[in-house]
């Protein structure tokens, strides 16, 4: 009879999950015994890094990824990253080792007491199998559930003495062979009604969100915008974990501001707002105002029932975003409305001394490869990067929809492991680096050739901006003098380059992009917030 270990690894194989991100402890070692040669173990030196790498890998491979953590403290360390994975709709099977069953009730050392409660409310499902023989089925259930809409993390606690137990071969085969398909298109009536509403509107607009790209709906969104002559806004940046629309496309207008009043103001001239693949809306900060422009109607298409229910206004259709956009595209005629005003393109940025984030991003744009991917965690220059780069291919942008720092560095490594043929640039603030700094080690250990672009403004720039918005003066703890990221990265074995002029930035980035090793380019930039 096969063991729990045999059956579980066969399940991982069958689900295409042969990369395991982890940080092991004594409670996880039995799972890893005789680690099969067709699997890859990617070690993260802290659990935030483990889950961050798995998050990037899952998103860029569009498959469920496994993160194996060390009992309670490992899960504790990973909570911020699990929060991000949930906001990113990232399908993760998170497992953690547990004390041997015989010692759980006495709560021997390392027992994960209340293991299933610990990761709530950040996971879709949390479980500890009642018998060793149930482990493969529980892992199958978790992996399938993680992938179903809305995709997200699940958690399974695994007692350390289960792995050599035997399982019934036929039962295991049934569990291993299972598959589920959760992509459902909206009812034909809803699609027809929405098509009529769209075509008869005077001035409709499309707001494109991250789940368009996650579901492969990019072409349908472009087709719909072109056929219906829709101007397109990207959903506000905090929630835009991926791009739903090519930002160099003539119909693209820009990124919506992230607050109630300003969103209504920006969409003022429209009578129908069609939102696809985004929550309505990822607002922050709180700037009150009307939720919608006067006389405007809003319809959202989302695969997430919770997103649909919690929206403060409008109608919603819960269905697969890509399939529903494709059905809508079929159902609408070519519109005779005037074409939207042309996309103004990137703002021209003069080279200044000292450099600022906008200048650096304009230099990055000059060398950025067509198939490049950006993983972004540079809070004060998010909009400047979007403006300068105008990313226009699917799967080229990853940003933490949850806003918890510590995503960028490990996620960029996960993305690069999933997309070895596309160059990955991690654009990150020096403050953000510190939340998952040991990810540098994994990049070196597994030869992951990410280019890290670190913007060194010696402060928490965005928090100084927020202080102004919130009328807060005199807050401590917003400056970061002497934080030498290049030296820290060198300590982990990364080749780091310090550059100070625009031409040097361009050259250093071009060289790092061409290199097959992880490299870091650190640029001192002027403080402040950079919007263009
Ligand atoms: C886990 C976590 N802790 C704290 C914050 C609050 N926070 C948001 S932005 C920011 C500053 C980031 O600094 P840096 O990366 O240097 O970027 P800058 O604002 O200078 O562009 C902080 C601390 C957060 N978002 N997540």
DSSP string for residues in 50-80:
HHHHHHHHHHHHTS-EEEEE-HHHHHHHHHH
pLDDT at 421: 98
**Tokens matching residue 316:** 């919603």
Rounded CA-CA distance 529/133 in Å is 55
Q: Given this model, what pLDDT does residue 214 score?
A: 87
For the CA of 462, the nearest atom of ligand 1? 19
Measured from the Cβ of residue 431, the count of other Cβ atoms closer than 10 Å reads 25
Question: What are the b/e assignments for 66-102, b being 16+ CB within 10 Å?
Answer: bbbbbbbebbebbbbbbbbbbbbbbbbbbbbbbbebe
Give the CA distances from residue 98 to residues 143, 155, 483, in Å, rounded to whole numbers and listed in that order: 19, 12, 38
pLDDT for 350: 84
pLDDT for 352 equals 76
| CA 356 vs CA 207, 467, 513: distances in Å | 30, 21, 21
pLDDT at 239: 82
Q: Collapse the DSSP code of 521 into the 3-class scheme (helix H, G, I; strand E, B; otherwise coil) and give the result.
A: strand
pTM, entire model: 0.98
Atom of ligand 1 nearest to the CA of 529: 21
Q: How many CB atoms lie under 10 A from the CB of residue 366?
A: 12
| Best residue for ligand 1 mutational test, from 379, 383, 434 (most atoms within 8 Å of Cβ) | 379
Kindly list the distances between the CA atom of residue 476 and the CA atoms of 407, 479, 527, in Å, as whole numbers in the listed order: 25, 8, 17
* C-alpha of residue 532 to centroid of ligand 1, in Å: 20
424: nearest Cα among 414, 437, 439, 438: 414
Q: Is the CB of 11 under 6 A from ligand 1?
A: no
Average pLDDT across each block of 10 residues of the chain; the chain has 532 residues. List them in order.
Answer: 97 97 97 98 98 98 97 98 97 98 97 97 98 97 96 98 97 93 95 98 97 94 98 92 95 96 97 97 94 97 97 98 98 96 91 88 97 98 96 96 96 98 98 98 98 98 96 97 97 98 97 98 96 92
Q: Which of 364, 366, 384 is nearest to 426 (CA)?
A: 364
User: Which has the closest alpha carbon to 325: 297, 303, 292, 298?
Assistant: 303
How many A from CA of 521 to the centre of ligand 1?
20
Residue 460 CA to ligand 1 center (angstroms) comes to 6
Q: Looking at the CA of residue 432, tell me the nearest atom of ligand 1.
A: 15
In angstroms, rounded to a whole number, what is the distance separating the alpha carbons of residues 30 and 495? 36
**C-alpha of residue 379 to centroid of ligand 1, in Å:** 7
Say what the pLDDT of residue 441 is.
98
Atom of ligand 1 nearest to the CA of 480: 16
> Distance, CA 527 to ligand 1 centroid (Å)?
14
For atom 21 of ligand 1, the residue with the nearest CA is 380
Question: How many angstroms does the Cα of residue 179 sit away from the middle of ligand 1?
Answer: 40
């Amino acid at each position: 009879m096969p063991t729990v270990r045999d059956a579980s690894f066969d399940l991982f194989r069958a689900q295409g999950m042969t990369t395991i991100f982890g940080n092991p402890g004594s409670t996880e070692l039995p799972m890893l015994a005789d680690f099969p040669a067709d699997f890859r173990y990617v070690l993260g030196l802290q659990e935030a890094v483990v889950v961050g790498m798995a998050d990037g890998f899952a998103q860029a491979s569009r498959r469920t990824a496994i993160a194996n953590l060390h009992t309670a403290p490992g899960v504790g360390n990973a909570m911020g990253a699990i929060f991000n994975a949930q906001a990113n709709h990232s399908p993760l099977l998170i497992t953690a080792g547990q004390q041997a069953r015989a010692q759980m009730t006495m709560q021997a050392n390392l027992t994960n007491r209340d293991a299933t409660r610990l990761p709530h409310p950040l996971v879709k499902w949390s479980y500890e199998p009642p018998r060793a023989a149930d482990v493969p089925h529980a892992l199958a259930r978790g992996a399938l559930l993680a992938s179903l809409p809305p995709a997200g993390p699940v958690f399974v606690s695994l007692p350390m003495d289960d792995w050599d137990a035997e399982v019934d071969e036929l039962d295991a085969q049934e569990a291993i062979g299972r598959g589920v398909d959760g992509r459902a298109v909206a009812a034909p009536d809803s699609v027809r009604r929405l098509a009529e509403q769209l075509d008869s509107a005077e001035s409709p607009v499309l707001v494109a969100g991250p789940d368009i790209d996650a579901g492969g709906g990019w072409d349908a969104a472009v087709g719909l915008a072109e056929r219906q002559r829709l101007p397109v806004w990207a959903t506000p940046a905090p929630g835009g974990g991926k791009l739903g629309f090519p930002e160099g496309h003539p119909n693209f207008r820009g990124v919506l501001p992230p607050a109630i009043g300003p969103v209504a103001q920006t969409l003022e001239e429209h009578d129908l707002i069609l939102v696809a693949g985004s929550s309505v809306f990822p607002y922050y900060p709180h700037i009150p105002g009307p939720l919608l422009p006067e006389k405007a109607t809003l319809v959202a298409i989302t695969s997430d029932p919770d997103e649909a229910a919690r929206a403060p206004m409008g109608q919603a259709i819960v269905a697969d975003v890509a399939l529903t956009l494709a059905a809508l595209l079929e159902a609408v005629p070519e519109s005779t409305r005037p074409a939207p005003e042309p996309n103004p393109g990137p703002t021209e940025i003069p080279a200044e001394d000292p450099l600022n984030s906008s200048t650096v991003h304009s230099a990055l744009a000059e060398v950025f490869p067509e198939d490049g991917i950006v993983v972004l965690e540079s809070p004060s220059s998010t909009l400047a990067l979007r403006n300068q780069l105008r990313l226009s291919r699917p799967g080229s942008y990853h940003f933490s929809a949850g806003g918890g720092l510590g995503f960028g560095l490990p996620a960029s490594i996960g993305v690069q492991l999933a997309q070895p043929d596309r160059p990955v640039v991690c654009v990150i603030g020096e403050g953000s680096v510190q939340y998952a700094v040991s990810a540098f080690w994994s990049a070196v250990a597994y030869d992951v050739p990410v280019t890290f672009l670190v913007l060194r403004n010696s402060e928490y720039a965005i928090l100084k901006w927020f202080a102004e918005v919130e009328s807060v003066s005199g807050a401590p703890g917003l400056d970061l003098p002497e934080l030498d990221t290049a030296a820290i990265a060198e300590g982990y074995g990364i080749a780091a380059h310090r550059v100070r002029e625009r031409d040097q930035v361009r050259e250093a980035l071009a060289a790092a992009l061409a290199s097959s090793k992880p490299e870091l380019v650190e640029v001192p930039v002027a403080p402040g917030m950079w919007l263009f």
